[in-house]
Amino acid sequence: MIDKIHALWPEISLFAATCLIMILGVSRNVKVRNLCAPLAAASLALAGVLAITTTPAGAGALPHMAEYGKAIAAVVGLLLLLAMTGLPDREYEAMVARTGKFDPLRNTRGEFWSFFLFSITGLMLCAGSEDLILLFLALELTSLPTYIMVTMSTARNRSMEAGVKYFFLGALGAATFLYGFALLYGATGTTNFAKMHLILSEQVAAGGLSGIAIAGIVLSVLGICFKIAAVPMHFYTADVYQGGSASMSAFLAFVPKAAGFFALMLVLSAIGWTSASAGGAGHGQLPEPVHTILWVIAALTMTIGNVLAILQNSVKRILAYSSIAHSGYMLVGIIAGPGLDAASFSTNGLAAVLFYLLTYGVMGLGAFAVLASLERRAADGVADEIDSVDDLRGLCQTAPVLGWTMVLSSVGLLGLPPLLGFFGKLPLFTAGIAAGEYALVVILGVNSAIAAFYYLRLVWVCLLESPDLSKKASMTAAPFPLRNLAGTLSAVAVVGLGLSLFFWPLTQVALRAGEYRAPRATQPVSGAAEEQVPAKPVTVPEAEKVAAAKTPA
């Protein structure tokens, strides 16, 4: 294990900052407490640099995914931190400023930002996992802090209700995929993904996966479906997104979802995308039982998410069901796999998913940042974020920056060219077509058309309707300009990355991260971190040369 420390410098830097933030957060000096968020931002920036400069290639089937996953975790994490400024201890800090009485036990600022960094650390560990045990621990490190963060995100009882729902359903999801991991260990006798692939590929070649292996894969996929908010583990999503703050919902829409897709790709790499027509040499479909299960989940997730989003009047619930639908879109890329031409971005489904995670994280953040930047005072004097679609009427007239941020984010999530969302969604279509998943691609296209209804509804309300002056009078901007900045940066990225020269290098980075190398049957591997190099066959002429060299003159 000590030989893997050199691959964990980003996580180590975040952990060191987390420990320091825990101490700073209970200081009686408000200036010291105010250093928590800037220190978290600095540690994320450092972790991003370390991810690019120090992360080595892994020994598994996805050797370059760790570097990409850690880098996007740091980048999107910085944007999320801007959107979450002022979230912890807002009312309590105001009371301390009035009375001068400070109780460290009631202060939660240090804990909140520590949990924030812990969750990002878990996401980075998920991207670099090469073992079932490490993957389980990483998934739980990603999820456990979010249960508490949701509860702490507002001063309302609905946040506590959302946190309780999220916790119990999260425990069910964790138990499900842990049981699946245990069955996979029982079917293969190893927890290392590369070794597991060799054993499971032998089962496939011998006539099919064993019953215990199929059960393990099914339970693992179902448990991970909770992390990505996919059917049938999607029920919590709308209630939790609406109960927590808007910026907390943006966090949930990216961090657990990205961790879930990293985990799903790693678990499925233990089986491999093989092509029977190519004698197992190419990369094509997953084994039939796994392929069928994922196909059904993808189709239901897209459809249920989009249909239920149409029925909502809460913007948070619309974006929550939209998040479910986007998980269905990305499952199309998972099913397509790396494709027969893994060097082509248009046919590599894994690269398409990795790129789409980045684009969705940026676009979704913009929409939630608008909600976090506008609020109204309730009867008890506590600020409430806006949530109703009616609250957005005429927003482009009353608050042009926020209004256009919502418009661009909504159109980007729809996938309208030439914005970033179009270039993120297009490879999912092309990868699905290249893999022969024509029916699933048709379902993807139909659901994209359905999604136009509620995304264009948000655009219409902000851009073309007149503001309701009675509601606008009670609405004020949140006293945290960094939230507005987060939304603005997101809107600029939605437009700028789609139209600029930076788009192509990003796709190439994602293509490298999605490179799939199926482990080959070789000499026994002594450790999880050792690469499996095929034994070179010795030909007859080479054997004669060796014998001649050993013969005395």
DSSP string computed for 261-323: HHHHHHHHHTT----GGGTTSS--PPPHHHHHHHHHHHHHHHHHHHHHHHT--BHHHHHHHHH
- 408 assigned to some structural domain: yes
* The predicted structure's pLDDT at residue 501: 67
Structurally, the chain folds into a number of domains equal to 1
Q: Give per-residue pLDDT as tens, 318-357.
A: 999 999 999 999 999 999 988 777 678 888 999 999 999 9
Q: Are strands 475-477 and 383-385 parallel, antiparallel or unpaired?
A: unpaired
- 371 assigned to some structural domain: yes
DSSP SS3 for 509: helix
- Model pTM score: 0.90
Q: Two tokens at 125?
A: 């560990």
Token pair 């927890």: residue: 191
- 186 assigned to some structural domain: no
Q: Give the count of alpha carbons within 13 A of 438, CB side only.
A: 1
- 227 assigned to some structural domain: no
* The predicted structure's pLDDT at residue 549: 46
- 326 assigned to some structural domain: yes
Contact 260, 303 (CB under 8 A): no
How far is 203 from 195, CA to CA, in rounded Å?
Answer: 13
- 259 assigned to some structural domain: no
Under-50 pLDDT residues of the chain: 275-283, 522-553
- 158 assigned to some structural domain: no
**How many Å separate Cα 330 from the centre of its chain?**
11
No. of helices (H) and no. of strands (E), the chain = 23, 3
- 382 assigned to some structural domain: yes
Domain limits for position 436 = 279-518
